[in-house]
């Protein structure tokens, strides 16, 4: 396929590189001037999109997505697919999809899970919203860039799935870190706690696969001085998106709201920026009740 790829940062760059390696004709654009080996470099987003069968975007937020879409959609050929892989608010995803469809294009919102490591390894999970026809066109590309792609429903459903998933992730990580800090104060050995919880009703991904306690469970960012696999500020972004969506949908999400406030304090008022989101554990270790 002829692919335009806009946004070649920590996630987009490796994703585009995997498409190049698979033999696709990729033209890339990034405002920072980043290039990908084997891909043609375009001078503008519109230039990258012109004549492409699929245009993929990987951008920081909904406002930037809307701005890029305004530039790119008029440059795309009729029947092409606009596939946004950014994590943005549901309203922006739906608005961009509507604009694309009005212009005779197909649209997919397909945020990803798996982080920078997954982007490089081609093991991302894609959560896609859009029509069956649009999903069918981009699914072979998802198979190159990832290990799983789930068609979640109509436009915006991909973003909804990502936001709900990461709200669970943020809440669960906080609970896991709180429990380790409490175990410390109760004199319970961390390894013994892991052995019990990881095989009983406290089982969770944050405990079993991404344990926030160094030296316990499989290797995780905790074993690398909490250098980010998934940065705390990105978790804050996703939790804020969850609360924005909850407000728009009139959904009661008290745990999600509290998790957003805790990560906001951690990132903006403490030392969480630039740390992995599991660095909540050393935060709780230093704190006292009240």
Query: Token pair for residue 225?
Result: 């001085």
Instruction: For the chain, give the mean pLDDT.
Output: 97
Between CA 164 and CA 254 the distance in angstroms is 13
Residues 13-22, buried b or exposed e (16+ Cβ, 10 A)? bbbbbbbbee
What secondary structure does DSSP assign to 94-139, as a single string?
Answer: HHHHHHHHHTT-EEEE--EESHHHHHHHT-EEEEEEE-HHHHHHHH
- Which of 102, 162, 192, 237 is catalytic? The answer is 162
Q: What is the pLDDT of residues 43-66, one digit of tens each?
A: 999 999 999 999 999 999 999 999
* pLDDT for the residue 215: 98
Please answer whether residues 166 and 127 qualify as being in contact, where contact means their C-beta atoms are separated by less than 8 angstroms.
no
Mean pLDDT by 10 residues, the chain (290 residues): 96 97 98 95 97 97 97 98 97 97 98 92 97 97 98 97 96 98 98 98 96 97 96 96 96 98 98 97 93
Q: What is the pLDDT of residues 211-246, one digit of tens each?
A: 999 999 999 999 999 999 899 999 999 999 999 999
Active site residue 162: yes
* pLDDT for the residue 21: 98
* pLDDT for the residue 115: 87
Task: Please provide residue 286's backbone torsions phi and psi, each rounded to the nearest 5 degrees.
Answer: -85, -10
Q: How many CB atoms lie within 10 A of CB 67?
A: 12
* pLDDT for the residue 72: 98
* pLDDT for the residue 290: 75
* pLDDT for the residue 112: 96
- Global pTM reads 0.92
């Amino acid at each position: 396929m002829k692919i335009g790829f806009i946004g070649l940062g920590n996630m987009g760059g490796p994703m585009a590189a995997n498409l190049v390696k698979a033999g696709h004709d990729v033209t890339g654009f990034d405002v920072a001037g980043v290039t990908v080996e084997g891909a043609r470099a375009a001078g503008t987003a519109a230039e990258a999109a012109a004549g492409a069968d699929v245009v993929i975007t990987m951008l920081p937020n909904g406002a930037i997505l809307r701005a890029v879409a305004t530039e790119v959609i008029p440059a795309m050929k009729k029947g092409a697919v606009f596939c946004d892989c950014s994590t943005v608010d549901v309203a922006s995803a739906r608005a961009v999809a509507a604009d694309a469809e009005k212009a005779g294009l197909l649209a997919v919102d397909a945020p990803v899970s798996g982080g920078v490591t997954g982007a490089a390894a081609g093991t991302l999970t894609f959560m896609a919203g859009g029509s069956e026809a649009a999903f069918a066109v981009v699914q072979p590309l998802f198979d190159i860039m990832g290990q799983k792609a789930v068609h979640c429903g109509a436009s915006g459903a991909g973003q909804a799935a990502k936001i709900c998933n990461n709200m669970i992730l943020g809440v669960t990580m906080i609970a896991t870190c709180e429990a380790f800090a409490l175990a410390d104060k109760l004199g319970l050995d961390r390894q013994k706690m892991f052995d019990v919880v990881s095989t009983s009703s406290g089982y969770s991904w944050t405990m079993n696969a991404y344990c926030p306690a160094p030296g316990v469970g499989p290797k995780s960012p905790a074993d690398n001085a909490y250098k980010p696999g998934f940065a705390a500020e990105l978790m804050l972004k996703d939790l804020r998106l969850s609360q924005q969506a909850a407000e728009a949908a009139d959904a009661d999400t008290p745990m999600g709201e509290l998790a957003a406030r805790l990560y906001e304090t951690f990132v903006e008022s403490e030392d969480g920026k630039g740390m992995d989101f599991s660095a909540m554990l050393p935060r709780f270790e230093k704190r006292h009740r009240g």
